[in-house]
Chains A and B, each alone.
Chain A
């Protein structure tokens, strides 16, 4: 079965420190990979995506993600965390083969940046 795993329910990091939110996936073929962020009482906001090409993808608000095909991972990173980055982060995968294009979301990781 196709799946996305976010192994950490919560990540705590001090403001100014680098942050990593982990994501691994189990999807056949070469899927498209996404990160979304959700602030309280809001819908999800798109951060970045990997389609093809450079394994390091840059996105909104200074976030970037590293695609590793051999480890089937797509970890979200930021060099210097801000308190305002505190939110719920979702990794999502979409199969690239024709047919179903359903999003498969991870369970989410709550990021808490401490001042």
Chain B
């Protein structure tokens, strides 16, 4: 199996841009789609990106996803940060045996 490693926390000011990384150890990041989920305390997760870079309907285009095979990582970029973006963000992918793996989560603080 493989692991997805995220920074524990990131912080940035309103209106700025922040990028959260998700590095895959074991296998290529391009082997399986990467998803990103937002989780606020007391709420169910919501999906902000699936299939590496696809936004579900209703998710603002301030959210974008990408993968970088040179660093074997995926990234979630949030531009024009708003206070409502403050949440935990999780990356997720699957291995070749269709077993899912989550990253440990990144706490985004918008100060």
Partners in one complex: no
Chain A interface residues toward B at CB < 8 A? none
